[in-house]
A and B are shown apart, each in its own frame.
Chain A
């Protein structure tokens, strides 16, 4: 899979997947702390990514405490790489554009790359 994937464009999904890209497993609380978001945000977006087949969720326990771990699936790795390639191309396109505007806070990517 290559190119833009709209699934990564909501909330912290892209950052979550980028975090998991280099790890085998990352625990729920660690993910939440590293992203600086709430439990419910991690739960909501991880569920969406899991339903899309991009994320694998493992439940277990450490001592008596229940724990949840995440990892990217092969499909998730592939989709993330494609999306990041697309973003890198977009950045080059914006850098090359003579009057590239400030895109912080929201970008109309379709306009920028065409």
Chain B
């Protein structure tokens, strides 16, 4: 207890709110699978015929819709609407930008390797990219939680 109990109340309220930034294990399992599926798209499409490409597009669209639906349902169920913009979380933003840069670079690298017929190398790069992006996403979420706990968020 600090000597100013009001500050303890504030810290407690912020902790309770920050708990809503934590995502369940099931989410992370699904995210990991989706991440490998998306990062490996150049590989999977190289095995598929041109006729199957619309299926891939529909798959990506379904993933996007499922993701938006999950976020909407979670807000509705918990009653807490946290800011969606990563810019509202000052210490999470650098991690998010790093994750975005790595995702683009990794996807580009895998795409280039597949285009140059270096599929075995691309298969080796895929888990490295997926693990790094996954780790950065975890860092982003924990930075968001910390920002909420410390009252740095600007909705």
Of A16, A21, A67, A84, chain B has the most CB atoms within 10 Å of the CB of A21
Interface residues on B, range: 20 to 34
- A84 to B4: give the CA distance in the assembly, Å: 11
**Chain A contacts with B in 62-112, Cβ cutoff 8 A:** 62, 67, 69, 71, 84, 87-88, 90-91, 94-95, 100, 102-105, 107
* Contact with A24, one of B10, B148, B151, B155 (Cβ below 8 angstroms): B155
Residues of A within 8 A of B153 (CB): 21-22
Q: Is B131 an interface residue (CB 8 A)?
A: no
* Contact with A22, one of B1, B9, B14 (Cβ below 8 angstroms): B14
- Of the candidate stretches B31-39, B56-64, B77-85, B112-120, the one touching chain A is B77-85
Q: Is B6 an interface residue (CB 8 A)?
A: yes
Tell whether, in the assembled complex, residue A104 and residue B151 are in contact, meaning their CB atoms are under 8 Å apart: no
**Chain B contacts with A in 140-155, Cβ cutoff 8 A:** 147-148, 151, 153, 155
Tell whether, in the assembled complex, residue A24 and residue B13 are in contact, meaning their CB atoms are under 8 Å apart: no
**Chain B contacts with A in 59-113, Cβ cutoff 8 A:** 76, 78-84
- A31 to B81: give the CA distance in the assembly, Å: 12
Tell whether, in the assembled complex, residue B4 and residue A14 are in contact, meaning their CB atoms are under 8 Å apart: no
* Contact A35/B7 with A24-B81, A26-B80, A30-B79 known, Cβ cut-off 8 Å: no
* Contact with A90, one of B1, B4, B148 (Cβ below 8 angstroms): B4
Residues of B within 8 A of A1 (CB): none
Interface residues on A, range: 35 or more
- A94 to B148: give the CA distance in the assembly, Å: 26
Residues of A within 8 A of B12 (CB): 15
Residues of B within 8 A of A22 (CB): 14, 17-18, 82-83, 147-148, 151, 153, 155
Residue of chain A at shortest CB distance from B76: A62
- A19 to B20: give the CA distance in the assembly, Å: 12
Separation in Å of the B95 CB from the closest CB of chain A?
18
Tell whether, in the assembled complex, residue A95 and residue B3 are in contact, meaning their CB atoms are under 8 Å apart: yes
* Contact A23/B16 with A15-B9, A94-B4 known, Cβ cut-off 8 Å: no
Tell whether, in the assembled complex, residue A26 and residue B1 are in contact, meaning their CB atoms are under 8 Å apart: no
Given contacts A18-B10, A84-B151, A91-B4, 7 further A-B contacts (CB under 8 A): A19-B14, A22-B151, A23-B80, A25-B81, A87-B10, A100-B3, A102-B3
The 7 closest A-B pairs by CB, nearest first: A27-B79, A30-B79, A22-B153, A18-B10, A25-B81, A18-B13, A19-B13
